Amino acid sequence: MGKGLPRSMSRGAAQAQEIIKQTVVIRNQTVPVTSVTTAAGFGTVVVGDFPEGNILFLGALAYISLAGSGADANLIDTWNGDFSVGTNPTADVSLTGNEVDIIPSTATTVAVAEVSPRTRAANATQAIFDNTDGSLEVNLNVLIDAADIGDSQTVNLTANGEITLVYVILGDD
């Protein structure tokens, strides 16, 4: 890259860039997953946020691994589940709407000794997010199949991975 304005802009604040590529690193984040009676377990952890403004979301790619403690009697060793990334936390046993607007619901690979292998998930659907109040979050939402978690129990999963987000700030009010 030559000298001058393009080089100066590339070294400036991320919010001053035309297209922003942001990587959210998830290291040892605890995700409490709770089942209600005999239903699947669900839980959320906030892993990041967006800058204030109208966000033109261009796409995302995630690599996520989820692990139990290895000795939790309320979680079977070969559990199955799903995860998504959204601007809202999950509030029930389905991943829909704003719970999946960044990364859609993606099945985890069958766990071994309560640890799911690293799973790839992607989204290239454009959307506009209204974050003019600055409250928009990046939520990792997790489901565990009903047969794999104890009834009316909570298990703590540890999330590790990366989520790469690509977006443009269209301005603020």
Give the span between the Cα atoms of 146 and 150, in whole angstroms: 8
User: pTM for the full model?
Assistant: 0.89
Dist CA 28 CA 157 (whole Å): 9
Whether 6 is covered by a domain: the verdict is no
Render pLDDT for 10-39 as a digit per residue (tens, 0 to 9): 666 665 668 999 999 999 999 999 999 899
- Residue 7 covered by a domain: no
Q: At 94, which amino acid appears?
A: S
Q: Let me know how long the chain is.
A: 173
- Residue 12: its pLDDT value, please? 65
In a domain, 97, yes or no: yes
> Considering the domain boundaries, does residue 147 fall inside one?
yes
State how far Cα 169 lies from the chain centre: 20
Tens of pLDDT along 81-129?
999 999 999 999 999 999 999 999 999 999 999 999 999 999 989 999 9
Q: Tell me, yes or no, whether 3 lies in a domain.
A: no
pLDDT of residue 173: 81
> Residue 2 domain-assigned?
no
Mean pLDDT over residues 142-150, rounded?
A: 96
Please report the pLDDT score of residue 10 as a whole number: 65
Distance CA 81, CA 75 (A): 11
C-alpha 160/C-alpha 68 separation (Å) is 12
The residue segments making up the domain with residue 69 are 17-169
In-domain check, residue 118: yes
Q: Give tens-digit pLDDT for 58-92.
A: 999 999 999 998 888 999 999 999 999 999 999 99
CATH code for the domain of 25: 2.60.120
Domain tally for the chain?
1
